[in-house]
Amino acid sequence: MKKILLTLSTAVFTLSAIAQTAPDFTATDCNGTSHNLYTELSGGNVVILNWVMPCGACIAPSQTAYNAAQSFAISNPGKVKYFLLDDNGGTTCSALTSWATTNNILSPTATFDNSGNTVNEINYGGSGMPHVMVIGPDHTILFNGLNAAANNPNAIYNAITIGLTPASIAQYQAHAFQLSAAPNPTHNTMHLQYVTKEESPIQVSILNAMGQLMMEQKANPRSGQNELPLNVSALAAGQYFICLVQGNKVEKIPFVRN
């Protein structure tokens, strides 16, 4: 449940705060097979794009992204696709494949030499080495990690999970809890108010502007109106998001720590 919570909240945050849709592309992989991004995403699939030079600093984040994809192979066979791409078309297929094999990236869904820089990472949220992106079935960017930030196994795993979850970004239930928080902005403690008809546990998470989990706690609500104090004094000043998940219901609201 913890992983689903962070996944849902990260995805909802990304949609509202960044609102990025991955542009489509059609590219031919190293086996001569043509891939269209939006076609690959159809049917509820998730696609991971991983640009590398390749380079030494690219190894660990690329392994992290690949392993995250592989972790869904049994529970969601064929639903998570890992695409390994050269950053700008300057590496041959043989060299890129050899680099991947040497670093235990043994069976990517597809490998692209990216000849002609067809899949230009600049069009996908910036440039950095490595660059890992998770794209959901509705074409929304759920995770975008550049350089060292690409090596974030929890965020990648959670981004994949939201893409595979029926309560996805496009379907999440706005105003599911009639959620509100006051005072907002706040410096120390705010009071979270919500309404639920169920008495099953609720997960509450706070994410920062990068989509990183900063705080998390559980609540055991009663049916009807509920109130939960949240002490945010340990957070740095800035914008954050509160996300609630109960079963397949999720709702988020922004707040400011001043």
pLDDT in tens, 118-160: 999 999 988 999 999 999 898 988 889 999 999 998 888 878 8
**Span 183-210, mean pLDDT?**
88
Domain boundaries of the chain, sorted by first residue: 2-170, 180-257
Q: Looking up tokens 């759920």, which residue turns up? A: 142
**Span 233-255, mean pLDDT?**
83
Confidence (pLDDT) at 211: 60
Confidence (pLDDT) at 14: 38
Confidence band of 32 (pLDDT split at 50, 70, 90)? very high
The per-residue pLDDT for range 15-27, each reduced to its tens digit, is: 333 337 899 999 9
Confidence band of 237 (pLDDT split at 50, 70, 90)? confident
Strand locations in 11-146 (E)? 26-28, 34-36, 46-52, 80-86, 110-112, 131-135, 141-146
Regarding the domain delimited by 180-257, which CATH topology (the fold level of the hierarchy) does it fall under? Immunoglobulin-like (2.60.40)
Q: Per CATH, the architecture of 2-170 is what?
A: 3-Layer(aba) Sandwich (3.40)
CB of 34 closer than 8 Å to CB of 28: yes
pTM of the model: 0.62
